[in-house]
Amino acid sequence: MESDVPLLPPFPTGWYALELSAALHSGDIRRTQFMGQDVILYRTASGVANVMGAYCPHLGAHLGVGGDIQGEYVRCPFHHFEFDTTGLCIVVPYGTRIPPKALAKVFPTREKNGFILAYFDATGAPPAWEVPDLDLENWSSLTATSWNFRGHPQETTENSVDIGHFSETHGYTAIEMLKPLVTDGPYLTTRYAMRRASGPLRTSVRSEFEIHVYGLGYSQVDVTVPQMGIRARLFVLATPLDGQQITLRIALSLFNDNEPGRIHPLLSLMPRAVFNRLVSTFTFAGFKHDVEQDIPIWQHKRYVQPPILAEGDGPVGKYRYWVKQFYLETERSGV
């Protein structure tokens, strides 16, 4: 029987989402896995989010089981040592000298565009690049969901350049490449348009998609439906857990100044908030449906390298070359 262990190295360098910003409140402390390690995700009293190794460097107690937040510090449940967001031990309750090696492991943490992101590099190097901040004015709060399954972020992100599967798996037609795939360091972008029957009358609607990929854990898709005057942002965020399982998060934000009258004149009479809610619900349902078609494929596929590509597959080969930068030199031969 073949092993379920993926052939791809399981932990590529990059930024990965651990939670929605809105879901983590001041004083919260959560247990989770990240890159094969037990970690805690927490928010200090002043609102700073941080990701820290789960085990106290003193005597190994799990900080997420009985530990708590004391102002800006995490307090260990065992001996009440306290650590700041850099991992430094700040408090020893005995009133004695702080051991100089009492340093908890931390991961570089950022809050970007409604997500809490942590950076991983197998060598421990600091972040070499950042996910850019978006202009959030006039954009709705995030609608999101997530799944855990056997998979890999390279495979899920590859869907963004796998043009062939859009028609065969998801039923899109009239696919056009509007901008060829371009890479710039850890950033990848391309743009295309396609049509699909939509709505109760199954009217064919043309949508344009501009892909922005930052590493293998953070993908943003800017969607425009010109004939309806609708704009949205879709996010696809895959985070490795234990070497085989990933958490895949998806989220949607809708531009609040859409133009309902371009869909139907009567819709211009509808309160804008109601219209936006309906569009967001409908768009997110379609997005979620597409991802749920992909999940069984990702979950049960095996990685093929080199791939046997056909005309019409899209720039998969160029993508495969681009991803090599996210692995250690010793890992790249099999990627």
**Residue recorded with tokens 């009217």:** 203
Four-point Cα dihedral 77, 79, 85, 90, nearest 10: 150
Shortest CA distance to 149 belongs to which of 40, 237, 215, 240?
A: 240
Domain 14-120 is in which class?
mainly beta
Structure confidence at residue 5 (pLDDT): 44
CA atoms within a 13 Å half-sphere pointing along the CA-CB vector of 249: 24
Structure confidence at residue 62 (pLDDT): 98
The CATH number of the structural domain formed by 143-326 is 3.90.380.10
Structure confidence at residue 200 (pLDDT): 56
- The pTM (predicted TM-score) of the whole model is 0.94
Measured distance CA(318)–CA(160) in Å, rounded: 12
- Residue ranges in the chain modelled with pLDDT below 70: 1-6, 198-202, 261, 266, 269
DSSP 170: T
Cα radius of gyration (the chain)? 22
Q: Are 63 and 81 a contacting pair, CB within 8 Å?
A: no
Domain boundaries, the chain: 14-120, 143-326
Which segments of the chain are extended strands (E)? Answer: 14-20, 29-34, 37-43, 49-53, 68-70, 73-75, 82-83, 89-91, 106-107, 109-112, 115-120, 143-150, 173-184, 187-198, 203-214, 218-225, 230-240, 245-254
Tell me: the pLDDT tens digits for 47-68? 999 999 999 999 999 999 999 9
Structure confidence at residue 258 (pLDDT): 74
Measured distance CA(76)–CA(84) in Å, rounded: 12
Secondary structure (3-state) at 72 = coil
Measured distance CA(295)–CA(148) in Å, rounded: 10
Mean pLDDT, the chain, integer: 93
